[in-house]
Amino acid sequence: MDKIYLNGMGFYGYHGVFPEENKLGQRFFVDLVLETDLSPASQTDDLNKTVNYAEAYKKTKEIVEGKPKKLVETVAEMIAQQILDQFSIVQACTVKVTKPDPPIPGHYKSVAIEMKRCRDE
C-alpha cells in the first residue's frame, strides 16, 4: 500500500479537560498518514485519482478548530472518520495529534496520541 504523509499541520483549538484549556485554547499539531494505491494517479498525473492535500488539510482544520472536545482521542477519531468518509480511495488513515506543553504537573515537551482506522470492506 502506498502512503501520503501530511506532517506538522498546526492549528489553534480549545480541547482539553481543564477549564483553562477550553477558555484560553492552545496549539495542536496533526500528522496524517493516508494509505492508498497511488498507481492510478502516478500513471495519469490526474489529481482526481489521488487525495487532494488541500482538502485533507481543510477537513482537519475544521475539526481541530471546531467545537471543543475533552479528549484529543475524540479529535483524532473524528479526523480519521472524516478522511475515510471524504476520500473513498483511502484504505487506512493514521492520525497523530500532539498537544505541546500540556497543563499537567512536571515538565513535558508534549503529549500525543496516535490511532489508525481502516476502511471496513
DSSP string, the chain: -EEEEEEEEEEEE--SSSHHHHHH-EEEEEEEEEEE--HHHHHHT-GGGS--HHHHHHHHHHHHTSS--S-HHHHHHHHHHHHHHH-TT--EEEEEEEEES-SSSS--SEEEEEEEEE---
Catalytic residue of the set 70, 99, 109, 116: 99
49 is catalytic: no
Active-site residue numbers? Answer: 99
